[in-house]
Structure 1
Amino acid sequence: MNIEQARFNMIEQQIRPWEVLDPQVLDLLFVVKREDFVPAVYRDLAFADMEIPLGEGQVMLAPRIEARLLQELSVRKSDKVLEIGTGSGYMAALLAARAEHVVTIELRPEIAAIARDNLQRAGVGNVTVECADGIRGWTQRAPFDVIVLSGAVPQIPDGILKQLRVGGRLAAVVGAAPVMEAQLITCVAEGVFNTVNLFETVIPVLDGADAKPGFSL
């Protein structure tokens, strides 16, 4: 496989048609090597328009979903970022390339260890991988300028919203299959949030979220 041609095709045929047009985001997709975060057995599928299995029932999201969320979050170099659902570490690496620091929370120890290794090999030094249940966020380093949930939730937990700084942005896919909506939520004042629906999609439920009905957290 011609890796660079496959990367170019992913960007031009999958990601641009999904209204990802920010040149900084598109350039980043060339710089952060997606194939380095894909399990070796699936390396030939690194640029395919699909979710890639990571083991233990977890997946990497399709490239177009990750790229679109990254674009909508408008991450800045001064931003403190929280990601919930580390997976392979690829989304954390993308966020880290634009942010000051990223804390990413992974529920499963084996997956967290793989993500740490992937990030270290990729030379990403401004990401902290924490092995914990992230459905309540991460109060130790709150508030955050950016929060992203790398998995679907029935609704956004209140505890996570409270960790968003005024002016901060949160991206998540909300709802239940077959109807889910990617949303961008902005904290416009203390305890006041503005929600914009971005696009309809269906992605796997955030690890552990389906075991916590109500989300009154």
Structure 2
Amino acid sequence: MHSATTTRELDELRREMVQEQIRERGVRDARVLDAMLHVPRHEFVSEDMIAGAYADQPLPIGEGQTISQPFMVGAMTEALALEGAERVLEVGTGSGYQAAVLALLAREVHSMESVVALATAAQARLARLGYRNVQVHCGDGTLGWEQAAPYDAIVVTAAAPRIPPPLVEQLAEGGRL
């Protein structure tokens, strides 16, 4: 139980988030909705942000970064059209929330984060929560993670003015970016 909110209240807020912010706004993939229903977003924000963890807005996670708005996570994840056997690259780990959602939908997730403190915290958090098919790598996400390429899907959750060529090169034939 968290000091600000009970587990039951957080579970109800998560159900409402999925129904009202994600499903009702157009995300229809049942697997994506189910994954978002099972990933505890409040575990990916600081203690002082827990009460607002399921609000339809990005929240600060430190180092000048934010956890993405839930609807954006749902929409970007649905666009990948994952079936369960894919290897996915995420660029911009942040707190690890998107990686956790992807972990429930893909065989293997590699996530790039350029901020050492965020990468370290995300890897520890994902391990603590039992997401065993996610590996967080610290480095320049625009270079991708060639060691595990090719990827069936790549999602860029960090701002990018254009698609970096290394990401296109690391995309499997028929893959989605």
For normalisation by structure 2, the TM-score amounts to 0.92
Q: Which residue pairs with 1:201 in the alignment?
A: none
Q: Would the aligned equivalents of 2:32 and 2:105 in 1 still touch at CA under 8 Å?
A: no
Query: Are residue 57 (structure 1) and residue 64 (structure 2) matched?
Result: yes
TM-aligned CA deviation for residue 76 of structure 1: 2.4
Between Structure 1 and Structure 2, the one with more helix by share is 2
5 Å-filtered alignment, 1:41-120, equals 41-120=48-127
1:90 Cα offset (Å): 0.8
**Aligned counterpart in structure 1 of residue 142 of structure 2, from 135, 138, 143:** 135
Deviations 1:80-108 (A, max 9, x none): 11111100111111111111111101101
User: Which structure would you say has the larger Rg?
Assistant: 1
**Which protein is richer in strand relative to its size?**
1
Aligned to 1:40: 47
Q: Percent identity?
A: 41
For residue 188 of structure 1, what is the aligned residue in structure 2? none
Higher-RCO chain (CA-CA 8 Å, sequence separation at least 6): 2
Summarize deviations over 1:132-189 as a string: whole Å, max 9, x none: 111111111111101000122111111211111111001xxxxxxxxxxxxxxxxxxx
Moved runs in structure 1, 4+ residues, more than 2 A? Answer: none
**Structure 2 unaligned regions, length at least 5:** none
- Look up the equivalent residue of 2:48 and give its one-letter code: V
When normalised by structure 1's length, the TM-score is 0.76
Q: After superposition, give the CA deviation of every residue in 1:23-52 in whole Å (9 maximum; x if it has no partner).
A: 111111111111111111101111001111
- How far apart are residue 112 of structure 1 and its match? 0.7
Return the alpha-carbon distance in structure 2 between the equivalents of residues 134 and 28 of structure 1. Answer: 25
Answer whether contact 2:114 2:139 (CA < 8 A) is retained: yes
Tell me whether 1:31 sits opposite 2:47 in the alignment. no
Pick from 135, 149, 160: which aligns with 1:153? 160
> What is the aligned partner in structure 2 of residue 4 from structure 1?
11
The offset of 1:72, in angstroms, is 1.2
Contact 2:88 2:151 in 1 (8 A): yes
Displacement of 1:113 after TM fit?
A: 1.1
CA distance in 2, matches of 1:101, 1:163: 15
Q: Tell me, which stretches of 5 or more residues in structure 1 are unaligned? A: 171-217
Contact 1:18-1:68 within 8 A present in 2 as well: no
Task: For residue 128 of structure 1, give the secondary structure of its aligned residue in structure 2.
Answer: strand
Q: How many residues align?
A: 170
Cα distance in 1 between the residues matched to 2:74 and 2:22: 7
Contact 2:109–2:133, Cα closer than 8 Å, also in 1: yes
Inter-partner Cα distance in structure 1 for 2:166 and 2:127: 30
The letter for the 2-side match of 1:124 is Y
